[in-house]
Amino acid sequence: MFRFLNFCLLFFISSYGYACKFSNVEFDSKFSGGRLAQCQQLDQDKFLLIFNPENTPINDSPWYSFKVTARQAQTVNIVMQVNDGKHRYQPKISRDGKHWQKHAFTLDKGQMQLALTADSKPTWISGQEIISNLDYYFWGKALADAGIVDQEIIGHSVQERPIYSLAARAGGKEWLVVLGRQHPPEVTGALAIFPFTETLLGVSPLALKFRERFNILVVPDLNPDGVYHGNWRHNINGVDLNRDWKHFKQPETAAVNDYLTALVAQKQKIAMAVDFHSTHKDIFYSMPHDYGVENPELVNNWLADLQQAITQEYPDFQVVQKPGNNPDKGVFKQYIADKFKVHAITYEMGDETDRVFINKLAVKAANTLMTTMLATQEQN
């Protein structure tokens, strides 16, 4: 069989994205969140795509995202290889970059293989659904335009991209802090933060009562450079932001720390924080209840209430809590506990957790958290 052993020409596109052009097929990552390092034609309809991390050492979370087009419709067989890692994310496919579904694949000796029919209309292949910086901005703008929150710029990334916050200010002085997208590929955490936040900001009697007492600060997209470039883990400086909450050497973490520090200086109080991530399974990482934070049983009570609420619809689901204390790691939940003496939790959604379930769990998590915090407030 006729074989092609030469690498195609690689084009560097305006500081991000590559295009690989062959006689009939083109691959490119010339869009926000795209990632593709190298292409090789192995056969008439078979192509090897190679993906590299932004730097090493790095968490083993290889991100890939690219588009495929063909001048004339044909079957395209793709072999995907990652350097300095092994595949974590199952492929998702889209014809418009907005609506996604899982795509069949096989793994052979560390390489992911899949086939699709390509034509002149782009087909996206990505490790997870694409949620861009613009998606966050317009989501926040819609909430601000509706008069629900103030959308503000609290800082800038290394490459001067704005870091937006959404603030709902009540008459009280206590704040619930919600954080997201420290790690660019962790999209299921992003899929959870939207319904979670919208429930907090809703018009239910519970949400209205909650916002009479508690202010809400949401920073949904802390790593806009990493999101834009399709990084595996880090910001553009090659730093894991969730290891920088001790020394604040990166402008992204420094922006949040400065904001929260200023609130406390104004006699405001941080009451609780939730940080959204993704991992291989659904899990809630908390501080130990006896760590010395205020309202020591708050998280235990919240997650127990969440278990009861979700069991009504999903009787087999178990809310898994894993307490931990890592004072030297520089993770966000530890920072909140050490500096503000209150609980924080890392809310992790599984990479392949059902998307409908992610939404339902987030709504119940927000409602039960509000109930728990109000009950704690009343007891005090």
Would residue 310 be called left, alpha or beta, if left means φ above 0 and alpha means ψ between -120 and 50 degrees?
alpha
In this prediction, what percent of the chain has a pLDDT beyond 70?
95
pLDDT of residue 136 exceeding 80: yes
Helix-helix angle 205-213:187-200, to 10 degrees: 90
Question: Can you give the pLDDT at residue 377?
Answer: 58
For 375, the token pair is 């009950």
Question: Can you give the pLDDT at residue 342?
Answer: 98
Question: Can you give the pLDDT at residue 16?
Answer: 58
Question: Can you give the pLDDT at residue 277?
Answer: 98
pLDDT of residue 11 exceeding 90: no
Closest to 224 in 3D by CA, of 310, 345, 137: 137
Confidence of residue 18 (pLDDT cuts 50, 70, 90): confident
The pLDDT of 230-252, averaged and rounded, is: 98
Question: Can you give the pLDDT at residue 378?
Answer: 54
CB atoms within 10 A of CB 71: 13
The pLDDT of 206-219, averaged and rounded, is: 97
The pLDDT of 269-274, averaged and rounded, is: 98
DSSP 9: P
Burial of residue 116, with CB atoms counted within 10 A of its CB: 0-12 exposed, 13-18 middle, 19 or more buried: middle
- pTM to 2 decimal places: 0.94
Secondary structure of residue 357 in the 3-state scheme? helix
Determine the length of the chain.
Answer: 380
pLDDT of residue 286 exceeding 70: yes
Question: Can you give the pLDDT at residue 71?
Answer: 96
What is d(CA 237, CA 234) in angstroms, rounded to the nearest whole number? 7
Helix (H) or strand (E) holding 306: helix 298-311
Supply the mean pLDDT for the chain: 94
The pLDDT of 122-132, averaged and rounded, is: 98
What is d(CA 191, CA 140) in angstroms, rounded to the nearest whole number? 14
For the segment 307-341, what is each residue's pLDDT rounded down to a tens digit?
999 999 999 999 999 999 999 999 999 999 999 99
Please list the alpha-helical segments (H only) found in 146-220: 187-200, 205-213
pLDDT of residue 302 exceeding 90: yes
What is d(CA 67, CA 31) in angstroms, rounded to the nearest whole number? 9
DSSP 290: T
